[in-house]
Structure 1
Amino acid sequence: MGRGKVELKRISDKSSRQVSFSKRRNGLMKKAHELAVLCDVDLALFVFSGKNRLFEYSTGDSSMNKILTRYQSYKNADEIVRRTVHEKLALEFNEVWTADKLMQITQRHLEENKIQESDISELCQLEKEIESMMQQVRIRKTQIMLGTVKALQEKQKQLHEEKQFMVGEIMAARMNENNVDG
């Protein structure tokens, strides 16, 4: 028989809250340990209590500093990639006609040709030109989006290869340590 669903809200009683915090913190750390062992991952966990006490856990051979250094280098590389992609997109989208620019072109064309005095063939021609401009915008937008996706996929592949290389280096270093110690 399973337990009922627990309503997630702040526990009002201070002692009950402290007991729950302590039990759940221990459970969280146990789950973190299980994840690290079962999946062979490096893991760091920080928990700050309501009284601002720090509880931390890090896995195996990795110290907290090593994990934090890896995290920081990953975040920095990720930020550089995001910023580069964003800047590239901004430059490319500046080349694409905006709705305002299309509206200005259309308005200028309408004023120049005095739309009220145009016959059906001139209006059809204007409509074709507008549709042509819109098609060019759609094509360019699609090219930019596909290029961005391709660039991100290539970056993901590159990062995966770097990760695999680093894992291989770590395994080789561990085997070296074991051979030296043995």
Structure 2
Amino acid sequence: MVRGKTEMKRIENATSRQVTFSKRRNGLLKKAFELSVLCDAEVGLIVFSPRGKLYEFSSSSMKNTIGRYMEHSIEDTSTTTLDQDTEQRKREAAVLAKKIEALEASKQKLLGEELESCSSSELHELEGKIEQSLRSIRARKYHLLKEQIAKLKVKESSLVKENALLHEKCKLLPQIPSAGSKEFPPRSTLGQQTEVETELRIGCPGKGTHGMSSHLYTNQ
């Protein structure tokens, strides 16, 4: 008698469903055992009944088998994630490379180079950008110059005040004659002379002599 093909859907009758579960479970456990023995494979089988009862089979140790499975799952996930990250980085690198290329071309045009491929409208737009940049640069330069001028004015005011203070201090100091304006005593005192009488005698001592006298004037 040929068995008919069983339709793969949930069995509505509870009794029939339980009988089918018991038969298929036992057959599944038997096949798992045969696979582990015939092929020397590490097999782990876990089945929960509709009521939550656990049925399991392990050719070695269920804990070791589950641990081994988890390691492989993590490796597979890591490899998949790494591949996805690599692809994402490649796409980002390609986008950045295009942006850099566009910026480099724009920079060359702003410098007045490689303008052969530009149309009249592009050149007009480029000219406007350059003029706007010049206005911004000049505005920034004038701002810095104003700040420097303001700082110099403050410094000038401080120096003027310090100079005035030094002048006031100099006025309070005693007057000291300079080296080029030394005071000398009057010429009348320097011109005082003392008359000294000297006498010159010619001849032997004790005899009459003819004397010559002269006057010397020495300064005292």
State the TM-score, normalized to the length of structure 1.
0.51
Paired residue for 2:23? 23
- The partner residue of 1:81 within 79, 99, 108 is 79
Displacement, 1:97? Answer: 4.6
Displacement, 1:13? Answer: 0.9
5+ long unaligned stretches in structure 1: 105-111, 116-182
Output the CA distance in 2 between the equivalents of 1:74 and 1:11.
36
CA RMSD of aligned residues (A): 2.8
- Structure with the larger strand share: 2
Displacement, 1:44? Answer: 0.6
**1:1-35 CA deviation, whole Å, 9 max, x = no partner?**
54221111111111111000000000111111111
5+ long unaligned stretches in structure 2: 103-117, 122-220
Output the CA distance in 1 between the equivalents of 2:79 and 2:34.
33
Output the CA distance in 2 between the equivalents of 1:33 and 1:51.
24
Output the CA distance in 1 between the equivalents of 2:90 and 2:46.
42
- Structure with the larger helix share: 1
Q: Give structure 1 regions of 4+ aligned residues with deviation exceeding 6 angstroms.
A: none
Displacement, 1:114? Answer: 8.2
Output the CA distance in 2 between the equivalents of 1:114 and 1:16.
85
Displacement, 1:78? Answer: 1.5
Structure with the greater alpha carbon radius of gyration: 2
Taking a change above 3 Å as real, the CA distance of residues 95 and 2 of structure 1, as seen in their structure-2 partners, is farther
Kindly indicate whether structure 1 or structure 2 has the higher relative contact order, using CA contacts under 8 Å at least 6 residues apart. Answer: 1
State the TM-score, normalized to the length of structure 2.
0.43
Output the CA distance in 2 between the equivalents of 1:85 and 1:43.
30
Output the CA distance in 2 between the equivalents of 1:34 and 1:67.
17
Paired residue for 1:7? 7
How many residues align structurally?
105
Paired residue for 1:39? 39
Partner SS state of residue 9, structure 1: coil
